[in-house]
Structure 1
Amino acid sequence: MAAVSNLSYLHTPSVRPYTYTTVIQIALENARFRPNQELVIFRELDGSRYSLTNASWYQQAEHLARYLVTRGVKRGDTVGLVGPNSIETAIGSLAILLAGAVVWNVTINMKTAQGVKAQIQLLQAKFMLVDCGKDSHFLPPVKALLENVTGQTDSANGDTNFQAIFLRKADFKKSVTLEHIQSLQLDQVELPDIYPEHKALLLSTSGSTGKSKMVCHSHFSLMNCPPSNNPGMAELPK
Structure 2
Amino acid sequence: MIVKSPFPDVEIPAETVYDYVFGSLTAADLDRVAVVDGGRSITFAELKADIDRFAGALAARGVRPGDVVALHSPNSIGFVIAFHGILRAGATATTINVLYSPTEIAAQLRDSNASRYVTVSPVLPNAVAAADEAGLPTEHMIVLDSACGFESLASLLGEATPPPDVTVDPSALAVLPYSSGTTGRAKGVMLTHSNLVANIAQCTPMLRITSDDAVSAVLPFFHIYGMNVIMNLTLRQRGKLVTLPKFDLPEFLRQISAYECTYLFIAPPVAVALAKHPIVEQFDVSSVRVIVCGAAPLDEALGNALMARLQCRLLQGFGMTELSPVSHVTPIDDPDISIGSIGVAVPNIEFKIVDPETGTEITYVEGARSRPGEMLVRGPGVMHGYLGNPEATAATIEPNGFLHTGDIVEVGPKGEVYVVDRLKELIKYKGYQVPPAELEALLLTHPAIADAAVVPYPDTEAGEIPRAFIVTQPGAEVFPDEILDYVAARVAPHKRIRMLEFIDAVPKSLSGKILRKDLKGRPVAQ
Shorter-chain TM-score: what band? 0.7 to 0.9
Equivalent pairs counted in the alignment come to: 205
Residue 25 of structure 1 corresponds to which residue in structure 2?
A: 19
Distance 1:209 1:78 in 2: 25
Alignment of 1:6-21 (within 5 A): 7=3, 12=5, 15-21=9-15
The letter of the residue matching 1:150 is D
Q: Which runs of 4+ in 1 moved over 4 A?
A: none
Quote how far apart the aligned CAs of 1:88 are: 0.6
**Structure 1 segments unaligned to the other structure (5+ residues):** 133-137, 158-162
How many Å apart are 1:211 and its aligned residue? 0.5
Partners of 2:26 and 2:110 in 1: CA distance: 36
Q: Distance in 1 between matches of 2:45 and 2:169?
A: 22
Whether 2:86 is the aligned partner of 1:104: answer: no
2:436 alignment partner in structure 1: none
1:217 aligned onto 2:317 = no
**Deviation of the 1:33 alpha carbon:** 5.8
- 2:106 and 2:54 map into 1 onto residues whose CA distance is 25
Do the aligned residues in 1 keep the contact of 2:70 with 2:117 (CA within 8 Å)?
yes
What's the secondary structure of 1:116's corresponding residue?
helix
Distance in 1 of aligned mates of 2:8 and 2:63: 36
Aligned to 1:146: 128
Determine which of 113, 116, 124 is the counterpart of 1:127.
116
Aligned position for 1:186: 161
Question: Are 2:53 and 1:76 aligned?
Answer: no
Which stretches in structure 2 are left out of the alignment for 5+ residues? Answer: 207-328, 334-345, 348-526
Q: For the structure 1 residues 14 and 107, does the alpha-carbon distance in structure 2 shift closer, same or farther, using more than 3 Å as the test?
A: farther
Q: Which has the higher contact order (CA 8 A, sep 6+)?
A: 1
Query: How far did residue 20 of structure 1 move?
Result: 1.8
Which amino acid letter does the alignment assign opposite residue 63 of structure 1? R
The question of whether the paired residues in 2 share the 8 Å contact of 1:80 and 1:103 is answered with: yes
Equivalent residues of 1:88, 1:131 under 8 A apart: no
> How far apart in 1 are the matches of 2:75 and 2:46?
17
Offset, 1:109: 1.8
For 2:189 and 2:69, the matched residues in 1 are separated by 15
Q: What amino acid is the match of 1:195? A: D
By how many angstroms is 1:59 displaced?
0.5
Change (3 A) 1:198 1:32: farther
CA separation of 1:165/1:230 partners in 2, compared to 1, >3 Å: closer, same or farther? same
Determine which of 113, 117, 128 is the counterpart of 2:106: 117
1:117 aligned counterpart, secondary structure: helix
Describe the SS at the equivalent of 1:224: helix
Residue 185 of structure 1 deviates from its aligned partner by: 4.7
Taking structure 2 as the reference length, the TM-score comes to 0.36
SS of alignment partner, residue 24 of structure 2: helix
Deviation at 1:80, TM superposition (A): 0.6
- Percent of aligned positions with the same letter in both sequences? 22
Backbone CA RMSD of aligned residues: 2.7
For the residues of structure 1 that align with 2:154 and 2:174, how far apart are their CA atoms?
25
The 2-side partners of 1:14 and 1:21 are apart by 21
> TM-score, length-normalised on structure 1?
0.76
Determine if contact 1:28/1:58 at 8 Å carries over to the other structure.
Answer: no
Secondary structure at 2:30 match in 1: coil
Equivalent position of 2:50 in the other structure: 60
Q: Find the counterpart in structure 2 of residue 91 from structure 1.
A: 81
Per the alignment, in what secondary structure is the counterpart of residue 165 of structure 1? strand
Contact 2:52 2:88 in 1 (8 A): yes
- Partner letter of residue 127 of structure 2? L
2:330 corresponds in structure 1 to 230
Q: Report SS of the residue matched to 1:200.
A: strand
Is the contact made by 1:104 and 1:201 (CA closer than 8 Å) also made in structure 2?
A: yes
| Stretch deviating more after TM superposition (85-94 or 99-108) | 99-108
In 1, the alpha carbon distance for the partners of 2:26 and 2:18 equals 10
**8 Å contact from structure 1 (residues 108, 145) kept in 2:** no
Kept in 1, the 8 Å contact 2:58–2:89? The answer is yes
Residue 115 of structure 1 aligns to a residue whose secondary structure is: helix
1:91 CA drift (Å): 0.4
After superposition, give the CA deviation of every residue in 1:115-166 in whole Å (9 maximum; x if it has no partner): 221221221111011133xxxxx2xx32123123226xxx822xxxxx1111
